[in-house]
A and B are shown apart, each in its own frame.
Chain A
Amino acid sequence: DAGVIQSPRHEVTEMGQEVTLRCKPISGHDYLFWYRQTMMRGLELLIYFNNNVPIDDSGMPEDRFSAKMPNASFSTLKIQPSEPRDSAVYFCASNEYGGRRQETQYFGPGTRLLVL
C-alpha cells in the first residue's frame, strides 16, 4: 500500500489567500484525522471523520478552517483567509478501527505551510 498521501508537500502563500490541503487515506481505512504541528503547541487534532462523517471538530481553531470528506478516498482541509499564525505542518492520518482496538494511526508525510 502507498500509505497516506498528502498534497502539496510544501505551500507558501500570502496572508489572505485561500489554502487547500488534500489527503488520500489508506484504502479500507474508515477513520481520517487532520492534525496541525507547531513547535509551541506540538501535535494538535483539528478534526476527524468516520465513514466520511465529521465526528469531532472541536480542535478546529476558528471559522476560517473547514474540512470535508466527499468520499472514502479523499479529504480536504481549507483555510480561508489564511494568516501568518496558520504556518505549521499539517498532517493527515488514517486507521481502520478507531478506538475499538489498539491499532495505531498511520500518518501521511505532511504539508508544510508558510503564510507570509
Chain B
Amino acid sequence: GQNIDQPTEMTATEGAIVQINCTYQTSGFNGLFWYQQHAGEAPTFLSYNVLDGLEEKGRFSSFLSRSKGYSYLLLKELQMKDSASYLCAVRDRPGTDKLIFGTGTRLQVFP
C-alpha cells in the first residue's frame, strides 16, 4: 500500500534549527512536496524534490534520498511564525498530479 510517515509533533526554540523527517513507501515515485499549514488555514507550498540531494530556499531546505524513501525539511533560525503543521506529500507516478499526503508534523516554536 501507500504509506507516508512523519512525527506527529515537535517543539523547538526561537532561533534554533529543527529537522522534520518523512519516510515514504509508495508504489512509485515522481516527486516529493513539503507544505506548510497554519492552524485554520490552507496548505501552502514550501519545496519540491525529485532528484536526490538538498534544495535550499532561504531559511528552509529540503533533502531527498530516493533509495531510502526518505526526506527531511530543515528549518533554520526559527521564528514564532514558523509554528504550523508541515505536510509531506508524494506524487506516486508521472502523468498524474495525485498527491499522497502524510498526516503532518505539528511544530511549536517557543520563545
Are B96 and A104 in contact (CB-based, < 8 A)? no
User: Contacting chain B: which of A63-71, A78-86, A107-115?
Assistant: A107-115
Q: Is A14's CB within 8 Å of the partner chain B?
A: no
Contact (A99, B94) CB under 8 Å given A43-B101, A105-B99: yes
Complex Cα distance, B89 from A95, in Å, reads 16
Complex Cα distance, B77 from A106, in Å, reads 27
Interface of A is mostly: strand
Are B97 and A48 in contact (CB-based, < 8 A)? yes
Cβ contacts under 8 Å, B19 to chain A = none
Interface of B is mostly: loop
- B-contact 0/1 string along A1-37, CB 8 Å cutoff: 0000000000000000000000000000001010000
Give chain B nearest CB distance to A109 CB in angstroms. Answer: 5
How many A-B contacts at CB < 8 Å in the complex?
Answer: 56
Are B99 and A45 in contact (CB-based, < 8 A)? yes
Which one, B33, B96, B101, contacts A42 given CB within 8 A?
Answer: B101
Contact (A100, B44) CB under 8 Å given A42-B104, A43-B87: no
Interface size, A (range):
20 to 34
Are B97 and A99 in contact (CB-based, < 8 A)? yes
Are A104 and B87 in contact (CB-based, < 8 A)? no
Are B91 and A42 in contact (CB-based, < 8 A)? no
Cβ contacts under 8 Å, A41 to chain B = 103
Complex Cα distance, B100 from A106, in Å, reads 15
Give chain B nearest CB distance to A4 CB in angstroms. Answer: 8
Are B48 and A102 in contact (CB-based, < 8 A)? yes
Q: Is A54's CB within 8 Å of the partner chain B?
A: no
Q: Which residue of A lies closest to B44 (CB)?
A: A107
Complex Cα distance, B31 from A102, in Å, reads 8
Complex Cα distance, B94 from A6, in Å, reads 28
Give chain B nearest CB distance to A92 CB in angstroms. Answer: 9
Q: Which residues of A contact B (CB under 8 A)?
A: 31, 33, 41-45, 48, 55-56, 91, 95, 98-100, 102, 104-110
